[in-house]
Amino acid sequence: MLSAQEQLDILMRGVIEVVPEAELLKKLENSVAKKQPLRIKLGVDPTAPDVHLGHTVVMRKLAQFQKLGHQVILIVGDYTATVGDPSGRSSARPRLTHAEVLENAKTYQEQFFKVVNREQTEIVYNGDWFKTMTFDQITQLMGQITVAQMLEREDFQNRYRQGNPISLHEFLYPLMQGYDSLKINSDVELGGTDQKFNVLRGRDIQINEGQEPQIGLFMPILLGTDGKIKMSKSVGNYIGINEAPDVMFHKIYNIPDEIMEDWFILLTDLPNSEIDKIIGDVKSGVLSPSDAKNR
């Protein structure tokens, strides 16, 4: 096992924020001292059957944790997906049936394990605990946050100011995601920057229940092939990991030059020094952008 500092140096590649940062090193030090792996959480709502390169940014970070000897817990949000994550949304997500979510989860997992080691992954469905909760337990959970705290969310603020409706069931979502962290005793939760509010609710709930709180580790949102907005199948600026190799190649070949550096950092294992040289050579004209994309 590498030292805590050596692990931290590896894990911080591409990371945009750690909350709170000092506690991650402490958790790693404790893990090394006790020879006990950290429990690394990723929750996914299989609202669609396809995985694209944008999703793999967080998955690749999970794989890094696994290579360092830590335990990954994949939470399949079969119940949270029926509520719908309001993060970054200007309106409520369309509600999915439980059957639709479970069907999506099958193909999602097949693609997930192209990136993450199946043998070092524990898979749990959050329906295992949410379907047994009583109304009293649900109201106790809802009592751990106020409407004012919910309206601190930028997406909710925008919708409220613009007069767009916010349904009460959407308030449940961050609490459900936070409760997941409590149930699996999460040490670190991974997510994109759009997940910060939800991940921090997990810390709050763990603290309230006397559990050591998790660390939030946030990855940047990968820009799509247009180089302008978040990669998304609905927008059409995506590369699916199940697409044919020649299709993937041509899509990568056509990405804007200015996003190559981020893609190298977030989607490859090349050393940072090699990436710096590639990008430097492109900027100086020693290497053509086309050759860099071929690489």
Instruction: Please give the C-alpha separations between residue 200 and each of 159, 177, 196, 216, 280, in angstroms, as whole numbers.
Output: 21, 10, 6, 7, 38
Please state the domain extents for the chain. 4-222
Whole-angstrom distance, CA of residue 283 vs CA of residue 275: 12
Whole-angstrom distance, CA of residue 100 vs CA of residue 278: 44
- Whether the bond into 220 is cis, omega within 30 of 0: no
pLDDT in tens, the chain (295 residues): 799 999 999 999 999 999 998 899 999 999 999 999 999 999 988 776 778 999 999 999 999 999 999 999 999 988 888 887 666 555 565 667 778 888 878 888 888 999 999 999 999 999 999 999 999 999 999 999 999 988 888 888 888 888 888 888 888 989 999 999 999 999 999 998 888 999 999 999 999 999 999 999 999 999 999 999 999 887 889 999 999 999 999 999 999 999 999 999 999 999 999 999 999 999 999 999 999 999 9
Q: Are strands 188-192 and 215-219 parallel, antiparallel or unpaired?
A: parallel
pLDDT of residue 98: 79
Q: Is 20 exposed, middle or buried (0-12, 13-18, 19+ CB in 10 A)?
A: exposed
Angle between helices 272-284 and 260-267 (to 10 degrees): 160
- E strand or H helix at 141: helix 135-142
pLDDT of residue 105: 80
Angle between helices 196-208 and 168-184 (to 10 degrees): 60
- Which are the contacts of 180, defined by CB distance < 8 A and separation ≥ 6? 41, 43, 75, 77, 80, 126, 186, 202
Angle between helices 4-11 and 53-67 (to 10 degrees): 170
- Which are the contacts of 65, defined by CB distance < 8 A and separation ≥ 6? 11, 38, 40, 72, 188
Question: Of 221, 258, 285, nearest to 87 (Cα)?
Answer: 221
Tokens of 8: 């931290």
Tokens of 98: 């439980």
- Which are the contacts of 112, defined by CB distance < 8 A and separation ≥ 6? 44, 51, 59, 74
Assigned CATH for 4-222 = 3.40.50.620
In the numeric block, the tokens 């898979």 are attached to 123
pLDDT of residue 94: 66
Q: Are 81 and 113 in contact (CB under 8 A)?
A: no
